[in-house]
Amino acid sequence: MTAAGRIAALALLLLVCLGPHLIAKSIGRSRWPRRFLKAAARTCGARVTTEGEGIAPHSLILANHSSWLDILLLAGATGTRFVSKAEVRDHWLLRWLADQNDTIYIERQDRRAVHGQAAEIAHALADPRPLALFPEGTTGDGRELLPFRPSLLAAVAPAPAGVDVRPVAIDYGAMRTEIGWSDGESGKANALRLLGRRGTFPVVVRLLAPLASGEDRKAMARDARGAIEDALAASNLRTPAL
């Protein structure tokens, strides 16, 4: 399928889901964002397999980050919401789509705002629906796992009672470098490149064991990164020294 064909299919999918979503949202919680994102991932060519024990309520998911496709895959597999960088709010369409999935926004570059970010994430975790963040803080080229930012884990060091911290490895296998999104590629170019590739590709979403709770954010970041590194070992992913 061409990029234009996939864009048209995604637009049609959005229109089909929009009415039921708005009706469901007006009377309670809508399940349609998860359905839309799962179907969107498939429309983009992803064929997803999920491994591991299901995500419990009130869980914080820590996942590796290679592409905007990660959001579709992870939401479709787990029903999670996301912690997003504040810049997403500057694009009206992306913000509207993110808002439908109850995304929360934080200023990741402002170190002075760490306490406020932690409070916002902790408040979000009071809701049973899982919450996901990408501790690398950015996408990569698919060749290596970037260092995890401990500041993003302030809300779960230690984890509140009843909250699991779950590392999740998104494994594109042999497709990892083709899927990866590096700094040198614009968002538009990346989207057209991925949407324009022909055929399908397998992805494994590995739900790993919960981390032990503790007060050391750096240790938690290191443990999460190590668990994901081990889960991606079969893909020969490089992991630069911390």
pLDDT in tens, 73-124: 999 999 999 999 888 888 888 999 999 999 999 876 666 566 778 888 988 9
**37: Cβ contacts below 8 Å, ≥ 6 apart:** 71, 72, 75, 76, 101
Range of the domain at 181: 3-235
Phi/psi at 59 (5° precision): -95, 145
Both tokens of 230, joined, read 């081990």
pLDDT at 119: 86
How far apart are alpha carbons 110 and 85 in whole angstroms? Answer: 11
Q: Are 17 and 76 in contact (CB under 8 A)?
A: no
How far apart are alpha carbons 233 and 145 in whole angstroms? Answer: 11
Q: Could you tell me the pLDDT band of residue 152, with boundaries at 50, 70 and 90?
A: confident
Q: Are 68 and 220 in contact (CB under 8 A)?
A: no
Determine the Cα angle at 211 with ends 205 and 216, to 5°.
Answer: 130
Phi/psi at 129 (5° precision): -65, 135
pLDDT, greater one: 52 or 119? 52
240 belongs to a structural domain: no
pLDDT at 87: 85
156 belongs to a structural domain: yes
242 belongs to a structural domain: no
**3-state SS record for 55-93:** CCCCCEEEECCCCCHHHHHHHHHHCCEEEEEHHHHHCHH
How many independent structural domains does the chain possess?
A: 1
pLDDT in tens, 188-207: 999 999 999 999 999 999 99
Residues 112-132, buried b or exposed e (16+ Cβ, 10 A)?
Answer: eebeebbebbbebbeeebbbb
Pairing of strands 165-171, 201-207: antiparallel
Query: What is the CATH number for 151?
Result: 3.40.1130
197 belongs to a structural domain: yes
241 belongs to a structural domain: no
73 belongs to a structural domain: yes
**What average pLDDT does range 205-230 have in this prediction?**
94
75 belongs to a structural domain: yes
Least trusted range by pLDDT, from 54-68, 109-123, 225-239: 109-123
